[in-house]
Amino acid sequence: MAGKLAVIAIGGNSLIKHRSRQTVADQYRAICETIRHLVDLVEHGYQLVITHGNGPQVGFIMLRSEIARKEIGLHIVPLSSCVADTQGAIGLQIQQALTDELEKRGRTAKAVTIVTQVEVDPNDPGFARPDKPIGEFYTKEQLPILKKQHPEWILHKDANRGYRRVVASPQPQKIVEQEAIDALLADGFQVIAAGGGGVPVVRSEAGLTSVDAVIDKDKTAALLATNLGAPLLVISTAVEQVMLNYGTAKEKALGRVGLREIEDYFLEGHFAPGSMGPKIEAAISFLKNGGKKVIITNPENIGAALAHGRGTQIFR
């Protein structure tokens, strides 16, 4: 599929604005604010495919699961189920906010959420080096019990705050529901898909099996945009522009930049692995595989990025 299509990856700041505002109602208000800016893309003639983060929300589910285990012995919710749960819950909020905003602007209000599986390679090196922390902190005294209850868990010490479970973060290989996404777009829907990077699955002779891992949502968004032949990938984040030498006296904002230049900056180590790094990796992958433009900016500047060149714009 090609044409005037934009794939948008919404960052966590679009869902939770502050630690004091984390309720479901708070998150919906934040989503409504973000969606108003995203519909500016529709005003520019784009059809939307929206992906989203889910880190804090998965953490909430896991914490509730742990409390239920401690209090009444209820089973632990698998990580893959947590990702699927958040795809449904967050997707519903985006779907409702998007439908309402489109109706307010007199536009066709067709929006739908797809619970999306993403295939990963069972031999991905990420499985050999799990390093993505998830869930709550545990004390040293809790380790023997946890290892007995969950022998498959890997627990690492985390910044002197205790121990946390770590899981693999493999590379996305294939979007299982790609044909469904294609069909919905062809029918005129705005589509919410691959939330949280997708539910990671591996394929064997027995079929698809969910695995406890976390796929980077921006990398999945880049894969989805490539598959769709979308000309535009928008990565919504907390800052208006990508910075070089971030947090130093030599800090410099990037405006319009070419693919080769951003690759050089990436190799020089300007972008932190846990924050801007995966976004830049996703941008490079998308552009190398046929994409035309990547915009990285905060939600309130998305419309201005299209109309006036705001934010960071990376071109092939």
Query: What residues are annotated to the active site?
Result: 12-13, 132, 217, 279
d(CA 67, CA 61): 10
When computed from its CA atoms, the radius of gyration of the chain, rounded to whole angstroms, is: 20
Which residues does residue 312 pair with via DSSP β-bridges, in sequence order?
296
Angle of the 259-267 helix axis to the 276-288 helix axis, nearest 10: 140
> What are the two backbone dihedrals, phi and then psi, of residue 247, each rounded to the nearest 5 degrees?
80, 10
d(CA 265, CA 281): 11
Residues 132, 197 contacting (CB under 8 angstroms):
no
d(CA 7, CA 48): 6
d(CA 293, CA 33): 24
Which residues does residue 52 pair with via DSSP β-bridges, in sequence order?
10
Short-list 82, 109, 92, CA closest to 28: 92
